[in-house]
Structure 1
């Protein structure tokens, strides 16, 4: 048998189904007896199937029968046997106490039945901390994993953050119900137990079913992605929201207990963000991190509750974690995403996930699920290098950003005049990993620097003759930061007098759509703003060349005078007239579109997303109008205090998204720093809530905090431009994190003041405002990523945020009745 037996898939699916029915019991959707009946029937089914297949195989072997289905029957027999083993384990755990009593001496003395021991406040504190810790770690790891699986960018990351907040807010609103509070302690234990296991199962299933739901090569529509996102995140996020409400209920007898719950949970989230940023991402894969998180969570639960189930499950998690370290199980799971390719390595880095695969002797390099480049692609390597190098008679100092591993360095070294090749990557970790499979040439002229490309160009003290940017089209902020007006100004200061630069965009083809024209126009016009001459040379890509000196599109003629030997870029394959004619056609299509690409208004990223959405009929209208409708509806239904909290959530999440995007533009590794950014944000919530605990609250405090958010939004652009201009220094990072801390502290304080001002009691009020904050945050993320930032830029977005807060102040002063 070449096909492996489904040990891990059967185990994960069995555990997932069991946890679902177990959760339904705990939520009182079904009864315990129904739960056991379901699994008794499953046990019977897998037992009968395994037994029948086993008997058939025994008959075939004994009587040497020629049955064509023997191999298939054997595989099914083993797979069903694996399923039978796990279902049997569930039944053994049900009756574990019975089996243990067999080996104990009987005791006929009367015994008083044990009643369930109540959790003390001392035991609740670590569980509050644990809920925040799990939520934060899982949120960051899920964002990274889903981004990789679905080849997403920062906008998709924003959608995930928004979905997480929305579902968690709904969970908190559900948790206000009295029937849930009646069994709060038991439900809390069950929910935390499930929360420690579900992320592992969901991450595994996402990797397995992606290519089953969507055929290989087929793009996933935004609508399908959002549906899958809701399905995948709902179990985790709803549980997280319900757990918060349960903790507030259990802490209700403590004075202002909800403040302690909010603060302790925020501290847990802060620690979780730091652990992910400095430990998990540095040393572990996503699944290894989740197994370790599960083990830590079960240890916490066992300390608080002393139930053997947590100890047994923790032991199983430890065994699985060890197996994941010993065997390349992660690579096997990733292979479901890369069909017909052998996954050689998949690693989490500061700049995102890197996966290297091999097929037919060719190495393929993926960054966050998207193909960066492949080795031995002669046409792309020659075009990227020679279209630029042939423009200068004796190019000496060459800069190449990305793609050196693919073979471009060898093409550059064909020119005898070259004295130095400076090579940097978008993801500096890529070369360290790729060197195992495709080492860089051993040449004294080559200088590789493991540093972010934009940072290197800003810091290097050298003048280059040719700068080659073998980077993808600007579909993400991480890539777009190399195409902006600000970057080109920095780059120009590092170029020699007659230097030339080259970028390669995805080809327009025979028909240039309005959206594609806008993408190319924004890059073309930004280059024209900084260089006297810009030309377009069509090939495998649309190559944009820029220089203050002359540029020739007669590639064949230029080739004849250089003495280099190429397989593709030569007069035998290229026709100068066709190249010139096609280039002029593209230029005529974009000449009248005046768009400038900047750091604060990343136009190509917006249009790349719009181009993606436009390929699915009907999606545009839905994705752009629903956030606006959802943004308005809550304002019509809520009372004045929840309205203010809703607007505060909208404001802080919008500012957080602007900070995350800004960090990506300046530093380029937001996939690593997002944990640290959110950790600082949660720290601000904790400090703000504790500050509210120390002050005698009156209505003016709530209004003042709303006004502070509005004022902060107005001065945010000034702070952003200040720290951007002095980037890459430690003081700038401190300023950046202060900018993150301030709005979160304001919201933490506002949450406490609002809860104490509502008349219905702190338990219900705390859940209501927590829900309003999160749902407002979700819609803030959606509106900012999809509409405000692309259309208005950073400054315009901040003015909208400030305006909403001042409207919120007016609504709070007016008051009014509503249903929430």
Structure 2
């Protein structure tokens, strides 16, 4: 074990070490969330679950770290430096455990995430307790460490969002973060530890290892391992997510955050989404397309005598990424003078453009996550309708079958159909695989003879969408069968931005694929484990109490994480591409925590009234957030969204930060920190997996506020009576 010398310096290197620890912790969290997003197909519900597990394991590490000697702190920093790149490798390797092309079920998903996050999070949590012991009698208390860690996290969020993301691969970034830990640790050791030669050699070793890892193909090799079983072609970590290109025979597949978004060349799918809406319109001149512009659909659209095609694609690196594998026809389409490409989110573009269109085509995957679901909500359909000329058509395609619609899929598809019907006067169907919706206000002529005439007049030479096919696809009995399935079954709710029921129905369809009696055994095991842990903590005198502030901090941590997850989901619903701004939003929350900690650390003394005041303040914040999001579209249409959400994150972090720092001077910091982490962890898990799917964003804010008011009122009554 290291031998510590007596402190004789200014302590600046100690401050740097805790700052870097906070910096690396948040960057590691962002990196692992992106990696896990690929593993679980970009489903944002697992953001909450992953964040929750992160906090729970960090809390466990913090509790265990109280038994570590002070000299363990530098060693833990060193271990953490190596743990992050190893963790990324393990996440990528874990995908091969599910089998080629297999989608993991709920048990596999939850257990894999729990196991993968444990090592890194446990080490990170142990660092806080060991750091408190290390800095004891060195002019830095727990509140100071809390603030330094938070300031490091603020810097990390900004740095990752605007510098690291999209410029460097996740693997390269992980090694760089490890190097920063080694440097901070080396400076710390030079100040406090006698055996410096050994650590100088170790520092040089890691530096050389970092350079070797950086300039090798380790990132692509681990990606290739992640996609074992596929013919892997290439991968790119862009600012907006991970892109992977694979090949099966002559068919190439594009994956975005693990979810397949395009297969090409695939004449059937390209022709279906392009030609049905354009043939249904008597004279389509101006077209808007989002999704699939480079993989075949654009080429099919340009077969028609259109005047202008506008494409919105927020990730400009996508075109460069796909260029080497595109066909000559697709490359020619991208150079067509009628094409205008806008490097912006499709929904944002439609909301703010003054242009009007004859057809708006959504060539997107099914709404299996919040990022895609935001293009299937009532609010988006209203925005799209405003950009259609009289007689214009909004077209989209969703998964279906040629002649049968299972009840669960019918319920899921009907939510989209009914949401369209709530905005447009009519929604016409083109049955098949996929099922195509044509939403319009004016009467639409889908007579097979008329469509055949338009095909000949426009000189279309199609492979699939041909005149001999029209009568079969548009058979009245077939259309009526699908219409009955969508309208006469159990009525589904409308899909809204803040109550994305289609997204949740898709989640339920996914769960039904894995119905297994062992799920109940796992649930029973989880409850049993929870009870055993609670009894263990009680015997160890770690039970929560309102008197020592731990129950208050746990409640603030729980509600604060609920608020934070809801803000993230609201941002995804309205603005999209949460992974590109998550670091910035986390930085805002951490700045609130740091500011609250700085203010709370200056508070002298403790009053029992403080507990109820903190809970009441948190309740008021929940009500304000609920009201704000209720009037979001009307009140903040022209206000920069990222600024608004950043401003919302600051008070969400301020109240828990203030509560911890103010109580840490009077009670056990380690116990309070553990309560904070466990509260936040439980809040994130329950919000992501249960509360949001059941209640939606607005109702959950109101419910949280009511419960906090009730707890605060109960505490005041208890103090008054006691």
In the superposition, the TM-score normalised over structure 1's length comes to 0.79
Q: 1:778 aligns with which of 666, 674, 681?
A: 681
Shift of the 567–368 alpha-carbon distance from structure 1 to 2, 3 Å rule, reads same
Structure 1 position 500 matched with structure 2 position 393: yes
Structure 1 position 175 matched with structure 2 position 60: no
CA distance in 2 between partners of 1:669 and 1:806 (Å):
34
Q: 1:693 aligns with which of 601, 604, 616?
A: 601
Q: Deviations over 1:360-408 (max 9, x none)?
A: 4543211101111022100000001111111012211111111111111
The answer on whether the counterparts of 1:553 and 1:576 sit within 8 Å (CA) in structure 2 is no
CA distance in 2 between partners of 1:233 and 1:170 (Å):
12
Alignment partner, residue 70 of structure 2: 184
CA distance in 1 between partners of 2:230 and 2:113 (Å):
26
Shift of the 509–412 alpha-carbon distance from structure 1 to 2, 3 Å rule, reads closer
Q: How does 1:393-542 map to 2 (within 5 A)?
A: 393-416=282-305, 418-425=306-313, 427-438=315-326, 439=331, 440-508=333-401, 512-542=405-435
Structure 1 position 210 matched with structure 2 position 210: no
| Matched residue SS, 1:170 | helix
The answer on whether the counterparts of 1:350 and 1:669 sit within 8 Å (CA) in structure 2 is no
Deviation at 1:298, TM superposition (A): 0.7
Alignment partner, residue 12 of structure 1: none
Alignment partner, residue 589 of structure 2: 681
Deviation at 1:523, TM superposition (A): 0.7
CA distance in 2 between partners of 1:773 and 1:597 (Å):
35
**Gapped regions of structure 2 (runs ≥ 5):** 191-195
Q: 2:696 aligns with which of 793, 796, 802?
A: 793
CA distance in 2 between partners of 1:738 and 1:606 (Å):
28
| Matched residue SS, 2:325 | coil
Deviates more, 1:531-540 or 1:349-358: 349-358
Shift of the 116–253 alpha-carbon distance from structure 1 to 2, 3 Å rule, reads closer
Alignment partner, residue 381 of structure 1: 270
Shift of the 542–703 alpha-carbon distance from structure 1 to 2, 3 Å rule, reads same
Alignment partner, residue 718 of structure 1: 627
Alignment partner, residue 76 of structure 1: none
CA distance in 2 between partners of 1:803 and 1:194 (Å):
44
Q: 2:712 aligns with which of 785, 797, 809?
A: 809
Deviation at 1:314, TM superposition (A): 4.2
Shift of the 314–253 alpha-carbon distance from structure 1 to 2, 3 Å rule, reads closer
Q: Deviations over 1:628-661 (max 9, x none)?
A: 9999997995211222211111111011011111
CA distance in 2 between partners of 1:460 and 1:503 (Å):
20
CA distance in 2 between partners of 1:308 and 1:376 (Å):
60
The answer on whether the counterparts of 1:135 and 1:269 sit within 8 Å (CA) in structure 2 is yes
Shift of the 628–422 alpha-carbon distance from structure 1 to 2, 3 Å rule, reads farther
Rg bigger for which structure?
1
| Matched residue SS, 1:562 | helix
| Matched residue SS, 2:394 | strand
The answer on whether the counterparts of 2:550 and 2:675 sit within 8 Å (CA) in structure 1 is yes
Structure 1 position 332 matched with structure 2 position 221: yes
CA distance in 2 between partners of 1:556 and 1:326 (Å):
62
Structure with the bigger RCO (C-alpha within 8 Å, sep 6+) is: 2
Q: 2:545 aligns with which of 624, 627, 639?
A: 639
CA distance in 2 between partners of 1:517 and 1:376 (Å):
29
Q: 2:252 aligns with which of 363, 375, 385?
A: 363
Q: 1:602 aligns with which of 500, 505, 516?
A: 500
The answer on whether the counterparts of 1:555 and 1:576 sit within 8 Å (CA) in structure 2 is no
Shift of the 530–627 alpha-carbon distance from structure 1 to 2, 3 Å rule, reads farther
The answer on whether the counterparts of 1:644 and 1:812 sit within 8 Å (CA) in structure 2 is no
Q: What is the CA RMSD across the aligned residues, in angstroms?
A: 2.8
Q: How does 1:110-129 map to 2 (within 5 A)?
A: 116-118=4-6, 121-129=11-19
Q: Deviations over 1:449-485 (max 9, x none)?
A: 1111011111211111111100011111111111111
Q: 1:742 aligns with which of 627, 647, 651?
A: 651
Deviation at 1:308, TM superposition (A): 4.5
Q: 1:244 aligns with which of 107, 128, 152?
A: 128
The answer on whether the counterparts of 2:251 and 2:266 sit within 8 Å (CA) in structure 1 is no
- Residue-pair matches, total: 691
Alignment partner, residue 43 of structure 2: 153
| Matched residue SS, 1:576 | helix
CA distance in 1 between partners of 2:566 and 2:524 (Å):
21
Q: Deviations over 1:746-771 (max 9, x none)?
A: 1111112333343xxxxxx1111111
| Matched residue SS, 2:165 | helix
**Gapped regions of structure 1 (runs ≥ 5):** 1-25, 27-113, 759-764
